[in-house]
Structures are given as structure tokens and as C-alpha cells.
Amino acid sequence: MIKYIILIPVYNDWQSVFKLIENIDLQINNEVIDVLIVNDASTENFNYNNKHYLKINSIKVINFIKNGGHRKAIATGLKYCQENLEYDYIIPMDGDGEDRPEELKKFFYKVEETQPEVITAIRIKRSEGFLFKFLYFFHKVFTNLMTGKLIKFGNFTCLSKSAISKILSSGSVWLSFSGAIAKIFPSYATINSIRGIRYFGPSKMSILGLILHSLRISTVFRETMFIRVVIVILMFGVLAYYYSYYFLIPSLSGWIFLFLIICLALEDNIKKLNVSLNNIKSLSNIYSR
């Protein structure tokens, strides 16, 4: 029987997380499902009411000392699973309802069918407003131009044990989860996914957050991006030489952009990933059948 770990990073959004777990329980047939909540140093305590689940096997919470953000919580959670738990596949998913638990069955079916190394959830429909959808479309176009990869998935994936091993051998996952997947695996299975609506409260993804998300993905492919940006800088330099010095403005902007990428690239750090478990303060076993 195939054993799954559903990995859920959370910062304070406890009400949503436990509603998500209730809904996950409704999607399970014969699969063995353990839930691992990665508590990213939440400032709010959670209230667990000793609820009984019909199918979920266990729920554990690893508590961090310091907040590191969503992507680092996932990377640390993957490393913890690799070193401490038994599993066949890990499914990272957001804890707010935007990754729909109904689509877990698609992952389960795909695994039963072909047992692929990686399955990604391709967003075919989103629930946000027009402005965010437009900016997200621009984000996909930008990353495609910078990296040569059309990345249409996020954290919601299904990863085999061999895939986890490959991911954790690179510091790229410390920088960008989806960027690391796209870089490490030239091909992967897919399912179609509809972006759900948050259970409680507004979305935590701001426009600035989306911009940084886009830049981090691109930075994973910094060698390719560096070549492309330098070519554009040189083109504007030639235009400035022959036509107008105003073309030096985008040329200078290109160098500033490359400096920003160099700064972001410092987060592609395998050493920090390897010691990430030092940020774990405690482990709580809150449910077991």
C-alpha cells in the first residue's frame, strides 16, 4: 500500500489548516495518509480539539524557532521527512484551501497508474481578481523569457522518494520550490488544478510577494538569465552609441537587475538547507489512529 505524507506549512492560519485536514480526510480511500504540519514559528497558538478522523493515519507538527517563510518551511519539511519518516510520496500543499483537497484523488490515481517521479498541479483556473490574474500572467511570461521554462505550477505537487533525494541535493529548493522542480526534472507528469478560495481571511500573496516569487524562480536559472540579460544590455549599448544616450537608461537598469539577481542567488545555499533542521524547536504528535 502506498504511503503519503501531506506536508502543510503554516504561519498563524490554524483555523484554515484544521479545516483543510478535515476535508483531506474525506478524499482518502485506501491510501495511507500522514499529515505533517510545519509550524513556521507562528505567534498564535493552535487549539486542537482531539477530533477523530476516519482515514488520516496521524498528524504531527514540527515547530520552528525562527520564521523563515513559506519556501524554506517546505524545504525544511522535506528534509525532516527524508531523515526521519517513512513514505513513498510527499504532497506539499498550502494550508489555506487554495490548494483544493478534492484534487488529491487525481494525484492518487496518477500514482496508481504509472508511479511517476514527480507530478505537478497545472493551474487551469484561478480564483483571484483581474489585477492579480493579469500580474500572474505577466509573471509566467517573464519567467519564460528569462529561463526558457514555462512554469505553470506552484507548491502543490506529488513527489516520490527518489525525487525528494534529488531535490535536497541542490540548494535551489531553498531559493524557489517550483524553480528547483523545473530545473532538476526535465519532464514530469501533470494534473489539472483549479485554484481554490481561501477558507478564512484574505490572500497573503501580495504584489511584492509575487514579484519576488518571479525573481527567485528566474534566479534558479541565473546562468541562462545572465546570458540573455547581458545580450539585451549590449543591444541597448549599441543603440546608445549610434542613436541616443537615452538608451543607456535601460542598459543601466539591466546591470541593476543583474546585481539584484546576484543578491537573490545567495539564497541558493545547500549549506543552509543541510543545517535547516537546527531550526526545529520541537515535535508534537497531535493525532494518531
Q: Is 46 helix (H, G, I), strand (E, B) or coil?
A: coil
CA 220-225-226 angle, 5° bins: 110
In the chain the domains, ranked by start, together with CATH numbers, are: 3-220+264-288 (3.90.550.10)
Indicate if the pLDDT at residue 280 is higher than 80: yes
pLDDT, mean of residues 119-146? 74
Per-residue pLDDT, 128 = 61
Question: What is the rounded end-to-end Cα distance, in angstroms, of the chain?
Answer: 17
Which of 177-191, 207-221, 270-284 shows the lowest per-residue confidence on average (mean pLDDT)?
207-221
Residues 6+ apart with CB under 8 A from 230: 254, 258
Residues contacting residue 241 through CB under 8 Å, at least 6 positions apart: none
Element (H, E) at 133: helix 130-147
* Mean pLDDT of all residues belonging to the chain: 89
Question: What is the reported pLDDT for 73?
Answer: 96
Mean pLDDT of 55-59: 94
Residue 204 pLDDT more than 70?
no
Helix (H) or strand (E) holding 159: strand 157-160
Contacts 24+ apart (CB under 8 A), 227-236: 228/145, 228/146, 229/146, 229/254, 229/257, 229/258, 230/254, 230/258
Q: Tell me the pLDDT band of 78, cut-offs 50, 70 and 90.
A: very high
User: Smallest Cα–Cα separation from 3: which of 81, 116, 73, 90?
Assistant: 90
pLDDT of residue 198: 87
Whether pLDDT at 200 is above 70: yes
Closest by CA position to 160, among listed 100, 78, 80: 78
> What is 143-157 written as a DSSP string?
HHHHHS------S-E
Q: Is there a contact between 214 and 179 (Cβ–Cβ < 8 Å)?
A: no
Residue 130: partners with Cβ closer than 8 Å, 6 or more residues away: none
Rounded distance, CA 57 to CA 51, Å? 13
> How far apart, in whole angstroms, are the C-alpha atoms of residue 33 and residue 80?
17
Residue 49 has pLDDT above 90, yes or no: no
Distance from chain centroid for Cα 36: 16
d(CA 2, CA 218): 34
Q: Is residue 243 classed exposed, middle or buried when 0-12, 13-18 and 19+ CB atoms within 10 A define those classes?
A: exposed
Q: Which three cell numbers stand for residue 157?
A: 505537487
